[in-house]
A and B are shown apart, each in its own frame.
Chain A
Amino acid sequence: MRALGALLVRDVRLAARAGGSAVLALAFFAAVVTLVPFGIGSDAKLLARVAGGVLWVAAVLANLLALDRLFQADYEDGSLDLLALSPLSFEGITVAKMTAHWLTTGLPLTILSPVLALLLNLPATAYTALIVSLLIGTPAVSAIGSVAAALTLSIRRGGLLFPLLVLPLLTPVVIFGAGAVLARLDGVENGAIWLLAAFSVAAVLLAPFVGAAALRLNLSE
């Protein structure tokens, strides 16, 4: 366990440092959300209606920014070999990487989201739903993203292929996440948040094993 903690602390430190992926993802998230009104106009009522969806899509895209090189940096500079030879199992490596990514990208995005929701005139009642849905949904993004990162780590320009692999698998997260915000907006209770939680729990529990299988195959061929 100490080994897993060591890798987690190292990755959080690396991401948080200047030039690390954490700051980059936040800036990208803010940029995309700020761009939307220029596209669809500043009509407050319209913005309020699409705010939940826009914030959710922008959050998922911002998450992907840091995900495709989750393992690739270590693969290219020889660290992955050292991790493979450490007491840490491949499952442990994936858990550490997934958690580090969520702590440095998923969580900060969730914390920043209410501020950006102001820009989109999200009604006050929906703020808790936005934060809760992002809090529950972003771990699934980190989980599924880390599996795709493990699959594409040996591809030099895997960054282009990465969204294509991940986005179809993330549609349920966006549907239930944005759906939860919309449900709150319309004052209806349709269980979106519970479906999101179920999907997230499943993704987080299964990802380490699938990610480990992907790491093993990429290292042993």
Chain B
Amino acid sequence: MFGYANPKRFMELSGRLLPWLGATTAILFAAGLYLSFTAPPDYRQGDTVRIMFIHVPAAWVAMMGYGFMALASLIGLVNRHPLADVAAKQAAPLGALFTALALITGSLWGRPMWGTYWQWDGRLTSFLLLLFLYLGYIALWNAIENEVRAAKAAAILALVGVVNLPIIEFSVQWWTTLHQGESIFRRGGPTISAVFLWPLFIMAAAYTLLFFTLLLVRMRTEILERRMRALALAANA
């Protein structure tokens, strides 16, 4: 069948791996949340420091997600492996979700300090632009009917985006120094005392595993849907 190559091996592998991945993610979340709420309040920020335990991991996965998407796009372009395109396509909505969570928790975290929900601070602004990059990628993919062409066009966009990310990051930081002084995030950031390191680290691990768990589930769904399309096409050809 000329149609979509059938990645049997991936389906078997991911089928066996998923239950373990899901269980580990759940355990990490349980441990992480427990530690987040039993950690002492920060001497300066008080209990708002607990928001850091869900803001920083979301921000990390948002950036890691885009990097993963760009890597999968590169592999998809270079050796035309359809599985890489599926991975990149399904990583985008997840990345966008975590970017949105990073923005929301970031704004809630800054609110007590700034007095407003939005502060044009370097880090938050960069995540806002990252969200636009994700949305542009998803929109481009859905706008092109031909699947193979959509995969390649989106791959090029992801690579252009990942090359531009550091430039955008730098220009936004440069721009914040232009308009107002330091902000809480960048004045060396809140020095993270040791007792906060554990909850932060475990929550980051939980978020990362969650990303890959959901990614595998969504990739399997995409593969099943592509097989359905191929069957339907073959049936009435």
- Name A's B-contacting residues (CB within 8 A): 147, 151-152, 154-155, 157-158, 161, 164-165, 167-169, 171-172, 175-176, 179, 182, 190, 195, 199, 210, 213-214, 217-218, 221
Contacts and interface: CB of A to CB of B under 8 A. Distances in A.
B164 interface: yes
B136 A164 contact: yes
A193 to B, nearest CB: 13
B133 A168 contact: yes
21 contacts: A154-B144, A155-B143, A164-B135, A167-B132, A168-B133, A169-B160, A169-B161, A169-B168, A172-B164, A172-B167, A175-B172, A175-B175, A179-B174, A182-B178, A195-B171, A195-B174, A199-B167, A210-B160, A214-B153, A214-B156, A218-B153
Contact of A171 (B144, B146, B156, B168): B168
B178 A218 contact: no
B171 A172 contact: yes
B149 interface: yes
B149 A165 contact: no
B132 A164 contact: yes
B228 interface: no
B129 A171 contact: yes
Interface string B142-184: 0110101100110011001100100110111011001000000
Q: Which 4 A-B pairs have the closest CB atoms?
A: A172-B171, A221-B149, A217-B152, A168-B132
Interface of A is mostly: helix
Contacts, number: 78
Contact of A168 (B129, B140, B144, B153): B129
B168 A161 contact: no
Nearest to B163: A206
A210 B132 contact: no
Contacts of B170: 172
Secondary structure of the B side of the interface? Answer: helix
Given A165-B136, A175-B171, A195-B171, A210 B156 contact: yes
Given A169-B161, A171-B171, 11 more contacts: A151-B156, A151-B157, A155-B143, A158-B143, A161-B139, A164-B135, A175-B172, A176-B174, A217-B149, A217-B153, A218-B149
B147 to A, nearest CB: 9
Contacts of A168: 129, 132-133, 136, 161, 164, 168
A202 to B, nearest CB: 8
Contacts of A155: 143-144
Nearest to B130: A168
B156 A213 contact: yes
Given A168-B136, A175-B172, A190 B149 contact: no
